Amino acid sequence: MAQRTNTYDIRSIDIDKKIISSIDNGIIILDDELHIYYLNKWLAIHTGLKEDSVLGKKLDAVFHNIKTKTLTRKIKTALRMKTPTFYTANTSKYLIPIKINQLKISNYEYMQQDVSIIPFDEEKRLVALIITDQTNMANTNALLEANIKKVNELNAELIRDRKTIDNKVLLIKLDSEFMIRDISQAQLRLLGYAKSELLDHNYFLFERLHINKTLKEQICQHAKENKVFNFEQKTLTKDGKELWMSNTLVPEYDSYGKELGYILFRNDITDAKELQKHQEKLLSNSRSSAMGEMVSMIAHQWRQPLSLINTLVATLKIKHELDLLDTQTMYKSLNKMEQTVNYLSETIDDFRNFFKPNKVITEVKLAMIFEKSTALLDDEIKQQSITYIQTIDEEIKISTYQNELIQSIITILKNSVDAFKENPTQKQYITTTVKQERTHLSIFIEDNAGGIKPEILQRIFEPYFSTKSKNGTGLGLYMCKTIIEDHLKGKITVTSQDGTTQTLIELPLSL
């Protein structure tokens, strides 16, 4: 029989107890009912049991942790098959409990064991249990397993991240010759191309319609110097839709620092571009509308001085025809006219100045701001018999862009003045109150020009929204809000009740 030489090794040689005793393994000889026939020195030392005291006893009676059924089954199988059966430390941990008393770091309290059950004497139904200390191996395995687990987790995380990047981030990988090496799913989806359609194509060739010579040179220059470069460009999707991309070109290296090429991180800024274009258009519209308002205000301001000049000219004419014109009267009238014309030209300069955006922040008295603002409306206010009451502490100062603030205040006051044209009442008034807080000031403007209906109130800041029957562009309050919130970092709210309208402007004391 093939197995015989193997299994009978131990029996065929005379068992030299000395040899068996000095072996660094535990050896027990048992019968198939688990009676102990022999126990070597190693086991005696490690378990603290004397061979004499356990001979003839059952192994599972000496060590209560041993599962009788399992061990018996393994012994019987070994005898039946005439080949060894096993316990492995991997799954069984240990058979004979031996405490580890060494002062070394171990994951285990008990020695981890591999156990071979070798058929020893088939007639007497004896087997030899050979016990090998596998604690070191088990410790190493545990360490290895923990590390493998960590590596696997990291790997899984990396794969997840990669997937996310591929699906969410627009990127194109280029080699040093700007040939497309890879392209993310997100970018492919956006452009409507399959990967195979773009791989190994030259990036500049692909974008030839949208990257001009200058931009290309800039890109190449930065790339050559391994510098990060930001640029914007248009691109076309496969079905011809135009998109705006913002690009960041970053050099890519492998883990040894060798250059691989470049990564182009992209952002779809089409929506932002559209918005920007839209806003620019709105802004230019509102500028021209402001100009329109300005012209109409100038017309108002000029009405009286012009009629004064008219009168002076007519008087001069009549006096001249009647030969009543003396030199003194003529000079007096001409001086008056000169004064008036100067006033006219000042008015224009004032308007022009106020509607020219300031580049610098200056500290000004708020009273002065209102003085300048109302000066341009004085005439209309008087004409319509509006009572204008202003309560502003002379000491209140603000550091801001003053022209922008003046323009906003004019717009609000003008709105009130215009409202009275639509809704004339008995006692028309506009009041302005300014209160200074710790960090900001509140400008409170109220009129009683009929108020604003709630459904209109919630839309007054929308561009192109107007209630004025004529000349209203609907951009005044939109501009106001944009200026106050974006430029002056303030807040504007409008409320209305019982035929009155309140506008509250809150501004930081200093920008």
Partner 1 sequence: MNSIILTEDEKDVLQELMNVAYGNATAVIAEMLDAFASLSIPNIKVMQVSELMERFNQLKDSSYFFSTQAFMGEFNGESAFFIDEESANNLAKHLELESIEDLDDAILELTNVLTSSLTTRLAQEMDTEVSFALPSISKVPLNEIANVDTFLQYSQVIVIDTDLNFEDQMIHGKIFILTKDESIQWLRERIHTILEALI
Other beta carbons within 10 angstroms of residue 465's beta carbon come to 16
When the beta carbons of 17 and 67 are compared against partner 1, the nearer one is: 67
Residues 18-57, mask of contacts with partner 1 (x by CB under 8 A) = ----------------------------------------
Interface with partner 1 (CB under 8 A), residue total: 28
Q: Does 86 bind partner 1 (CB under 8 A)?
A: yes
Crossing angle, helix 402-422 and helix 366-375, to 10 degrees? Answer: 50
CA–CA separation, 83 and 420 (whole Å): 113
Which of 47, 92, 218, 248 is in the footprint of partner 1 by CB under 8 A? Answer: 92
When the beta carbons of 89 and 452 are compared against partner 1, the nearer one is: 89
Rounded to a whole number of angstroms, the minimum distance from the CB of residue 148 to partner 1 is 9
Residue 224's identity, in one-letter code, is: K
Applying CB under 8 A, the span of 38-46, 68-76, 254-262, 329-337 interacting with partner 1 comes to 68-76
Residues 130-149, mask of contacts with partner 1 (x by CB under 8 A) = --x-----------------
Q: How far is CA 319 from the centre of its chain?
A: 79
Other beta carbons within 10 angstroms of residue 74's beta carbon come to 19
When the beta carbons of 134 and 286 are compared against partner 1, the nearer one is: 134
Q: Does 72 bind partner 1 (CB under 8 A)?
A: no
When the beta carbons of 77 and 467 are compared against partner 1, the nearer one is: 77
DSSP E strands in 285-383: the ranges are 362-365
CA angle (374 as vertex; 370, 380 as ends), nearest 5: 165
When the beta carbons of 89 and 171 are compared against partner 1, the nearer one is: 89
When the beta carbons of 57 and 67 are compared against partner 1, the nearer one is: 67
Rounded to a whole number of angstroms, the minimum distance from the CB of residue 44 to partner 1 is 23
Q: Does 109 bind partner 1 (CB under 8 A)?
A: no
Q: Does 105 bind partner 1 (CB under 8 A)?
A: no
CA–CA separation, 231 and 248 (whole Å): 7
Which of 69, 104, 213, 470 is in the footprint of partner 1 by CB under 8 A? Answer: 69
Structure token digits, residue 369: 């701001």
When the beta carbons of 25 and 399 are compared against partner 1, the nearer one is: 25
Crossing angle, helix 270-321 and helix 402-422, to 10 degrees? Answer: 70
Q: Does 311 bind partner 1 (CB under 8 A)?
A: no
Structure token digits, residue 432: 């302005």
Other beta carbons within 10 angstroms of residue 340's beta carbon come to 17
| Region of residue 263 (phi > 0: left; psi between -120 and 50: alpha; otherwise: beta) | beta
Complete edge-to-edge strand list for the sheet that includes strand 113-121: 36-39, 26-31, 126-133, 113-121, 85-87
Q: Which residues bind partner 1 (CB under 8 A)?
A: 1-3, 5-6, 67, 69-70, 73-74, 76-77, 80-88, 90-93, 114, 116, 132
